[in-house]
Amino acid sequence: MKLLFRNKYFWLLLLVCSFTLLPFLGLSDFHTKGEPREAIVSYTMLASDNWVLPTNMGGETAYKPPFFHWCVAVVSNVYGAVTEATSRIPSAVALIIMTMATFVFFAKRKGNKIGMITALTAFTSFELHRAGANCRVDMVLTMLTVCAIYDLMRWYEHNMKGVPWIAIVLMGLGTMTKGPVGSIIPCMVMGIFMLMRKVNFFRAFFTLVAFGLLSLLIYGAWFYAAYRQGGQSFLDLMYEENIGRMTNTMNYDSCVNPWPYNFLTVFTGYLPWILLLITTLFFVHWNFKKRINLKSIWSRMLSMDNIDLYSLIAIVSIFVFYCIPQSKRSVYLMPIYPFLAYFIAKLLVWLSDRQQKPLRIYGGILSVLSTLLFVVFVLIKSGIAPLTLLGGHGKHAITNIATMQAFANIGSWWQYVLIFFTTIIGFAWWRYQKRHNGDKLVYGIIVLTFALYLSVDGVYTPAALNVKSQRAVAGCIDRIAPESEGKIYEYIDYAIRTPGDKPHFFELNYYLNNRVHNFYKEKPQSGFLVITHSDYEMCVDGFKKQGYKFKFIKNWAEFDMDLYQFNK
């Protein structure tokens, strides 16, 4: 441990990751249903002092165990409010912790160079970087899962003596983040590895089952407490989310995709590094006449050193595991990303020693991209590019024009600094790659990648995403319909008919400080109603038969949202 804290690479990595990620967490407003849905759970925890199974104003309870929401609530309580930044800090810290753990794990076993490149490659993969700046449970779960896998290898290397309490605690927190999958995956990876290293089946099986059961103790305690509050509806929800999702017996469809979808998500999720792999393919000698010999492949796998085999098992087993359920999302596969980064790091080192042309081409692609971003920014800022450049019709045209206007309005001095820094690094690449070879080419590419992320995270992404947010709509509703004049209700017809993951106006509810109630459940006498135009046209006659009278107040066409005042 003392040697670790004396390692200059460790502190450099921590500084770079923190500086690249943390300053920009609060720049983007919530613009999807996922982030505000999680944030409002933490808001409700603090408001109601219910840390087991809080229920928001609309009657919604969390679909996942509460560890992530505890983290958001604790950070937000220190700050004084649940904000976009405070709700994203747990994910950002989780990404940084996992990056540091990745460096430590591989540097200890493969050297500082491999450890550093592996950690930086994982950190700059699109999927992990995006998840690290989101208020969702997935990045925290990924960190806990990956770190548990690392610690189980430490336990194996110590001749499987004692109990890996760190891994057990990490798995326990993983189950408290998203259910038993937080324990299943680390045990599965280590179990397959132990069997391939010819550990007795019964020893491997019962040992890992014991570790898994120990990790479920805290989850079991929370489960009982939550059942005491939620009763049968809580049990039904947990069955759907855990058993039903894995056995394809859910009462509703949730992110249903065929198994090839997982290949697509990894392909896009590992941008920009996937471009390097594609470039390298053109410089590899392929022998298509050679037959595939499965026995030879198996023998080569068994002859791998422990870290190579363990990393390969983690990639393959987790990938296959998430091909089983119908529900598939790109974030499910994030635990394989650090292990993919290890093999990419080995490829980068090999290329730097033997075949540098793919590195130079790939660096050139990133350099051109940084230049194009600058050119497009100048064209928009100067007014040469018309606001209608992105095209579209109806609400899409409104959003696209607003996006162009947002780019044109970029004007903070530090944003200009980021833009020019990225552009300068991009131009400098052409001179740099002519003067340097070997490892310096790899580190030059990594610097260029980080420069791109700085401008994308700090300038372009917030401008593009904030126009999609309902924050301004919520502010307008709050002025038109203050709390003193009545409660705000939502009505979504599909939410009444669907048995499972019900849609709500999550963004609106967050920015209205959890003021949005459920019209269908509460059947109020008066107040304000938020409803889509199509739902109003379909349901207004039925409402009037119940004695309701409506007064139209305002419409937001870009969000297909109407506001009415009603009484009965």
Are 201 and 129 found together in one domain? Answer: yes
Q: Where are the beta strands (DSSP E) in 131-199?
A: none
Alpha-carbon span 215 to 29, nearest angstrom: 36
Q: Give yes or no: residues 64 and 180 share one domain.
A: yes
Q: Are residues 139 and 213 in the same domain?
A: yes
Structure tokens at 530: 């938020």
Pair 301, 196: CB distance under 8 Å: yes
User: Considering the entire predicted model, what is its pTM?
Assistant: 0.94
Domain boundary (330, 353, 376) is at 353
The answer to the question of residue 262 being in a domain is no
Q: Is the pLDDT of residue 389 over 90?
A: no
Residue 257 lies in a domain: no
Between 138-142, 153-157, 321-325, 398-402, the lowest mean confidence (pLDDT) is in 398-402
21 shares its domain with 92: yes
Burial letters 438-470, b for 16+ CB under 10 A, else e:
eeebbbbbbbbbbbbbbbbbbbbbbbbbbbbbb
The answer to whether residues 121 and 217 belong to one domain is: yes
Q: How confident is the model at residue 371 (pLDDT cuts 50, 70, 90)?
A: very high
Domain that holds residue 276: 2-250+271-353
Of 38-47, 201-210, 234-243, 313-322, minimum mean pLDDT range: 234-243
pLDDT at 259: 83
Tell me, what's the pLDDT at 483? 87
Give 228-235 contacts, CB < 8 A, sequence gap 24+. 229/50, 229/52, 229/53, 230/53, 230/61, 234/53, 234/61
Do residue 284 and residue 424 come from a single domain? no
**Which range has the worst mean pLDDT, 211-215, 295-299, 329-333, 334-338?**
295-299
**Domain match, 54 and 74 both:** yes
Say how many CA atoms lie within 13 Å of 460 toward its Cβ.
17
430 falls within a domain: yes
Q: How much is the average pLDDT of 341-368?
A: 95
Q: How far apart are CA 449 and CA 5, in angstroms?
A: 26
Instruction: Mark whether 449 and 307 lie in a shared domain.
Output: no
Domain identity same for 505 and 481: yes
At residue 485's C-alpha, the angle toward residues 483 and 488, to 5°, is: 55
DSSP for 278-296 reads HHHHTTS---TTSPP-HHH
DSSP string, 290-355: SPP-HHHHHHHHHTS-HHHHHHHHHHHHHHHHTTSSSB--GGGGGGGHHHHHHHHHHHHHHHHHH-
Q: What is the pLDDT of residues 175-187, one digit of tens each?
A: 999 999 999 999 9
pLDDT digits (tens, 9 = 90+) for 2-12: 556 678 899 99
Q: How many domains does the chain have?
A: 3
Final residue of a domain: which of 406, 439, 469?
A: 469
| Residue where one domain finishes, among candidates 452, 469, 486 | 469
pLDDT band at 239 (very low <50, low <70, confident <90, very high): confident
How far apart (Å, rounded) are the C-alpha atoms in residues 196 and 313? 10
Q: Which two tokens stand for residue 407?
A: 């780019």
Q: Which of 370-374, 396-400, 414-418 has the lowest mean pLDDT?
A: 396-400
Q: Which of 567, 483, 564, 552 is nearest to 528 (CA)?
A: 564
195 and 286 housed in the same domain = yes
Provide the pLDDT for residue 400.
74
Same domain for 437 and 414? yes
The whole-angstrom separation of Cα 172 and Cα 141 is: 11
Residue 264 falls inside a structural domain? no
Q: Is residue 347 part of a domain?
A: yes
> Which stretches of 197-272 are DSSP H helices?
201-215, 217-238, 245-247, 260-269
30 in a structural domain = yes
- Is the pLDDT at 1 greater than 60? The verdict is no
CB 445 within 8 Å of CB 359: yes
Indicate whether 373 belongs to any domain.
Answer: yes
Whether 266 is in a domain gets the answer no
**Is 138 in the same domain as 31?**
yes
Contact 163, 129 (CB under 8 A): no
- What separation in angstroms does the CA of 1 have from each of 6, 171, 369? 9, 23, 41
For 554, the enclosing helix (H) or strand (E) is: strand 549-556
- Of 67, 94, 39, which Cα lies nearest the Cα of 219? 67
Beta strands 516-518 and 488-491: pairing type? parallel
pLDDT one-digit tens code per residue, 494-552:
877 776 667 789 999 999 999 999 999 899 999 999 999 889 999 999 999 999 999 99
Q: What is the pLDDT of residue 269?
A: 94
CA dist., res. 439 & res. 350, Å (int):
10
